[in-house]
Chain A
Amino acid sequence: MIRKFLITPLFAILAMSSMAQAQDVMKLAVTTSFHNSGLSDVLLPEIRKDLDLEVQLLVVGTGQALKLGQEGDVDAILVHSRKAEEAFVADGFGTHRREIMYNDFVVIGPGEDPAGIAGAADAGDALARIATQQSRFVSRGDDSGTHKKERALWQAAGVDPDAAGAWYNAVGAGMGAALNTASGMNAYILSDRASWLNFGNKGDLALLYSGDPVLLNQYAYLPVNPELHPHAKSDLAVALEDWLTSERAAALINEYKINGETLFTFNAQ
């Protein structure tokens, strides 16, 4: 009886695993902020339709995405951290870097805006006001693209967050988790616009500052170097790149809206 019970699922499993998909499959590492935007839910079905290609997304931080590409555990990456991307190509881990689209970062904070950043002159000024007021601020603290952007902004504002007091909270988590923390603490936070719009637990938080060109966030696509990793599916990576830079992708990306707001601007050359 028990033997029968143990063996049945085993057969079920074997039967399942033999049901392999007929189509092509490739792995693409993307950042949490891209995935949280929901754009992938629009693009992936279309890619499947057009190319008969199943793109499996690994949703990780920028640092881990680069690492996955470096080790050959994915076939391509889609990230937004220009310096790191250029180093990735220069070190030979990727064949090249192709810009696809951009979106922007926004500063979120308590609705009553205790630091008064809504009237700030630029992004640096907004952060400087938070620091002066010592209003609570939540940082991703996970070395992601968003975190790197935030560090650069603090530097421009002339504030050293490492020396900051208890008002500065590095949570070491993804965008969603960090937003959850900010919502719980009613704190300021730097987020990409898409993650913010799709976030379901806003609480008293509101979008307080945006629009400075320095807040633009460029996404680029980097296929993994097949010379380094012969198993990498570089033909599929090329096919996907062609699709992502096509007219069709341009239309889908530019028309993608959350709550009536456009999120991304297609800018592939």
Chain B
Amino acid sequence: MGDLWSGLTQAFWLVVTLDKELVEISWRSLRITLSALVLASAIAMPLAAFLAVRRFRARRAFIAVMNALMGLPPVVVGLVVYVLLSRSGPFGVLGLLFTPTAMIIAQIIIIVPLIASIAHQSLRDLWQEYHDLLISMNVTQWQKMKTLLWDARRALLTAALAGFGRAIGEVGAIMIVGGNIDHATRVLTTAIALETGKGNFALALSLGFVLIALAVAVNLAIHWLGRTEREGRW
């Protein structure tokens, strides 16, 4: 209880005094996760739309695998990315291990199945609604996908936010592939793990509160952006 309280007050002071390291770490967390989110969405959403409009033999199996991958253990993802990016691994020449890029790659792998699954659910429902009309209009596969993606954009925002939530709070994978290097790959979650290891529970907790606040702030900001849309009525 004492730790909780001193964590809260410490978090408060860290934020109001704009503690230099806190700002640096938070900004890095945000930057890495938002990059991963943008890239993962660019992969997952067209994939979800494709799965909604296109029937092919392995489709059901594909969707089942995708849903299962939502529960992918981040540590395993981290390990696999680590082995691939290590200097003695297949992509070693790129020298990406222990860089923010490696962390972005790991986060993308973790959240693509999540975003794609959630997006697919809403796109599939919308497709049922639109099916007759779009078939009757004889539009191309690509046009169907674009129409679905555009008209379901608010549901897709929810999918993206779920991905953001998972990525920003993730620690296992990015600890492994990023190495938690001070001033290079240390982010909020890995800093929390580090401080916990040192027994600095209050500081760890205060970082935790900042992390939560950041996640809430991003969610609110995105919802606000969504609401200011001209056609934002459904």
A, B in one complex: yes
Residues on A close to B: CB < 8 A?
1-2, 5-6, 9-10, 12-13, 16-17, 27, 32, 36, 54, 56-60, 71-73, 174-177, 179-180, 183, 198-202, 229, 231
Contact of A5 among B92, B225, B230 (CB under 8 A): B225
| A16 to B226 alpha-carbon distance, docked (Å) | 26
B87 at the interface (CB under 8 A from A): yes
Q: A56-B184, A57-B182, A58-B181 are in contact. List 13 more A-B contacts (CB 8 A).
A: A9-B38, A10-B38, A13-B31, A13-B35, A27-B181, A58-B179, A60-B179, A175-B197, A176-B197, A176-B198, A199-B198, A200-B200, A231-B95
**B86 close to A176 (CB less than 8 A):** no
Contact of A231 among B34, B87, B230 (CB under 8 A): B87
Residues on B close to A: CB < 8 A?
31, 34-35, 38, 41, 86-88, 92-93, 95, 97-98, 100, 153, 157, 179-184, 194, 196-201, 222, 225-226, 228-230
CB distance from B24 to the nearest CB of A (A): 12
Q: Which residue of A lies closest to B104 (CB)?
A: A13
Q: With A1-B228, A5-B222, A13-B35 as known contacts, state yes or no: A199 contacts B184, CB within 8 Å.
A: no
Residues of A contacting B31 with CB < 8 Å? 9, 12-13, 16
Q: With A9-B35, A10-B38, A56-B98 as known contacts, state yes or no: A199 contacts B199, CB within 8 Å.
A: yes
CB distance from A33 to the nearest CB of B (A): 11
**A200 close to B97 (CB less than 8 A):** no
Q: With A1-B229, A27-B98 as known contacts, state yes or no: A176 contacts B196, CB within 8 Å.
A: yes
Residues of A contacting B93 with CB < 8 Å? 231
| A13 to B100 alpha-carbon distance, docked (Å) | 11
Residue from B179, B184, B201 whose CB has the most chain A CB atoms within 10 Å? B179
CB distance from B37 to the nearest CB of A (A): 8
| A60 to B82 alpha-carbon distance, docked (Å) | 14
Q: With A5-B222, A9-B34 as known contacts, state yes or no: A36 contacts B198, CB within 8 Å.
A: yes
Contact of B88 among A6, A27, A72, A198 (CB under 8 A): A72
**B197 close to A177 (CB less than 8 A):** yes
| A60 to B181 alpha-carbon distance, docked (Å) | 11
Q: With A58-B98, A231-B95 as known contacts, state yes or no: A71 contacts B87, CB within 8 Å.
A: yes
**A56 close to B200 (CB less than 8 A):** no
Residues of B contacting A56 with CB < 8 Å? 98, 179, 181-184
| A2 to B227 alpha-carbon distance, docked (Å) | 11
Q: Which residue of B lies closest to A183 (CB)?
A: B199
Residue from A27, A36, A176 whose CB has the most chain B CB atoms within 10 Å? A176
Residues of A contacting B95 with CB < 8 Å? 231
Q: Which residue of A lies closest to B97 (CB)?
A: A73
CB distance from A97 to the nearest CB of B (A): 21
**B199 close to A200 (CB less than 8 A):** yes
| A97 to B87 alpha-carbon distance, docked (Å) | 22
CB distance from B149 to the nearest CB of A (A): 10
Q: Which residue of B lies closest to A201 (CB)?
A: B199
Q: Which residue of B lies closest to A40 (CB)?
A: B182
By Cβ-Cβ distance, the 6 closest A-B pairs, closest first, are: A176-B197, A201-B199, A72-B87, A200-B199, A9-B34, A56-B181
Give 22 CB contacts A-B under 8 Å.
A2-B153, A2-B226, A9-B34, A13-B34, A17-B100, A32-B197, A54-B183, A57-B181, A58-B180, A59-B180, A176-B197, A176-B198, A176-B199, A177-B197, A179-B199, A180-B196, A180-B197, A198-B198, A200-B198, A201-B199, A202-B199, A231-B87
**A73 close to B86 (CB less than 8 A):** yes
| A32 to B35 alpha-carbon distance, docked (Å) | 30
**B180 close to A71 (CB less than 8 A):** no
| A16 to B199 alpha-carbon distance, docked (Å) | 33
CB distance from A128 to the nearest CB of B (A): 29
CB distance from B81 to the nearest CB of A (A): 13
| A10 to B31 alpha-carbon distance, docked (Å) | 9
Residues of A contacting B200 with CB < 8 Å? 200-201
**B88 close to A2 (CB less than 8 A):** no
CB distance from A247 to the nearest CB of B (A): 26
| A13 to B182 alpha-carbon distance, docked (Å) | 19
| A60 to B184 alpha-carbon distance, docked (Å) | 16
Residue from B184, B196, B198 whose CB has the most chain A CB atoms within 10 Å? B198
**B38 close to A71 (CB less than 8 A):** no
Residues of A contacting B230 with CB < 8 Å? 1
Q: Which residue of B lies closest to A44 (CB)?
A: B182
Residues of B contacting A176 with CB < 8 Å? 196-199
Residues of A contacting B180 with CB < 8 Å? 58-59
**A174 close to B179 (CB less than 8 A):** no
| A176 to B200 alpha-carbon distance, docked (Å) | 10
